[in-house]
Amino acid sequence: MSTNTDDGTPVHRDLWNACAGADVVAPFMSDHVKYIPKGHADHCSASLQVLSSLEYLPAIHCTVQGRVILSADPMTDEVFAQVHIKPCSEKFRAFTPKPPTGTMRHMISTLAKPIDEPAHLQQLSLSRSFLGVCSDQFTTFAVIDFAEKSWTFKLMFRDDHQDYLLIDDWASFVRDKSVQVGDVVLFLRDRILDNTRFAVRRASSVSVGRRNNLNLEAFSRAHGSLSLNFCTTITYYPNDVNSDFLVPVPAFESVLGSDWASGVRVSKRDDHREHQGTITEATFKISCDGTLLTSIWKCISVQWDEPGCFKRDTFSPWEVSLKTSKNGTMMFGVDLSLVQGTTKKKKRGKSRQTQA
């Protein structure tokens, strides 16, 4: 259930997916993906000038060669993946069943605990449903980190909250792992193997390895190899908002067959729940025969019903889901730009009447 690499600590796939964030799933061997050049350059922190020059580069159809290597930085817990891909013709696309995970899915439970305030750095609560019922008021909770180091925390049951507090060694863990407010601590409980693994998803990247793997040289080397029909190895960090440039072919084709016009309602999940919003602008263009004329990377702007639920307002279509009604028709919201324009006109009209 783990993978091996010399560049980081091997990671349990389910824990890697949890650390990667909501809706992020590591690819499997033989998967068909679309490589988005502009997205890879964006992930490598390319300048706006470089990104503009890549606007019209087409996506490259590839297959995943060999096993995907899932790893984590042993110092920071930041997860990353190494994927070997090779261009192929879409004519040879075939269905490849996913390999078994090795553990029954209903026997694995994941819990994400945001560190929202300084008090969480001293004590952290865990739900009763996740830990199970304990008869004693004080008990212990053993976990394993990415480096295979065991930690044992003392648990205190709070009858008024019906949950448990991690106390004592929790503060030592926070200091050892340099946990900060804004980070998320993830727990993965395997009821078959009877163990719990955990890791920290950082609010911002602190890994030194990113500088070696994410640069324009890495992008140029990868895109050059794929352009010549050669296999290449790509390293990406899924916690980065620009990391989803390897798009599963079914998701990519679904995007091309949908209408992403202004006013369409969309949704997107975070760790806790679904958020809804309205598309305010879509910049990509498709020809009559279905061919992309411009890049589809970060091409739609969304205004969310809850401002600030995401730290950005531009997304790629595969990052969000179209909202449909019960009969399957697409849901439309109010075109916010039109509303703002109408409001401005009304204000101008009232001011003129006042002046008259």
Percentage with pLDDT > 70 across the chain? 75
Both tokens assigned to 29: 């061997």
**Per the domain annotation, does 3 fall within a domain?**
no
Same domain, 234 and 277: no
- Residue ending a domain, choose from 178, 201, 224: 201
Any idea what the CATH number is for the domain that residue 317 is in?
A: 2.30.30.1040
* Average predicted confidence (pLDDT) for the chain: 78
Rounded CA separation 189/131 (Å): 9
The distance in angstroms from the start CA to the end CA of the chain is 76
Rounded CA separation 177/194 (Å): 24
- The pLDDT, as a whole number, for residue 280 is 93
**Per the domain annotation, does 15 fall within a domain?**
yes
- Residue ending a domain, choose from 252, 282, 317: 252
**Per the domain annotation, does 232 fall within a domain?**
yes
- The pLDDT, as a whole number, for residue 275 is 92
Same domain, 95 and 219: yes
* pLDDT exceeds 50 at position 340: no
* pLDDT exceeds 80 at position 236: yes
Rounded CA separation 268/256 (Å): 18
Same domain, 186 and 233: no
Q: Name which of 257, 233, 144 is nearest 190 in CA terms.
A: 144
What pTM was computed for the model? 0.76
Of residues 60 and 173, more confidence is placed in 60
Same domain, 95 and 242: yes
* pLDDT exceeds 70 at position 308: yes
**Per the domain annotation, does 4 fall within a domain?**
no
Same domain, 181 and 264: no
Same domain, 212 and 336: no
- Band of pLDDT at residue 34, cut at 50, 70 and 90: very high
* pLDDT exceeds 70 at position 353: no
- The pLDDT, as a whole number, for residue 158 is 83
Q: Which DSSP symbol is given to 124?
A: E
Residues 18-22: what's their mean pLDDT? 77
* pLDDT exceeds 60 at position 106: no
Same domain, 13 and 67: yes
Spatial contact of 330 and 259, defined as CB atoms under 8 Å apart: yes
Rounded CA separation 282/176 (Å): 45
**Per the domain annotation, does 74 fall within a domain?**
yes
- Residue ending a domain, choose from 216, 231, 252: 252
Same domain, 115 and 97: no
- The pLDDT, as a whole number, for residue 227 is 94
Spatial contact of 261 and 331, defined as CB atoms under 8 Å apart: no
Same domain, 289 and 301: yes
Same domain, 278 and 234: no
**Per the domain annotation, does 355 fall within a domain?**
no
Strands, DSSP E only, in the chain?
A: 9-10, 32-35, 60-64, 69-72, 79-87, 108-114, 124-127, 138-144, 150-158, 163-167, 184-190, 195-201, 232-236, 246-248, 265-269, 274-282, 300-304, 314-315, 321-322
Same domain, 270 and 323: yes
Structural domain harbouring 30: 9-101+205-252
- The pLDDT, as a whole number, for residue 344 is 47
- Band of pLDDT at residue 253, cut at 50, 70 and 90: confident
Any idea what the CATH number is for the domain that residue 194 is in?
A: 2.40.330.10
Structural domains in the chain (count): 3
Same domain, 193 and 126: yes
Rounded CA separation 254/277 (Å): 20
Which residues, at least 6 apart from 79, have a Cβ–Cβ distance to it below 8 Å?
Answer: 11, 16, 19, 20, 70, 71, 72, 73, 199, 237, 238, 239
**Per the domain annotation, does 317 fall within a domain?**
yes
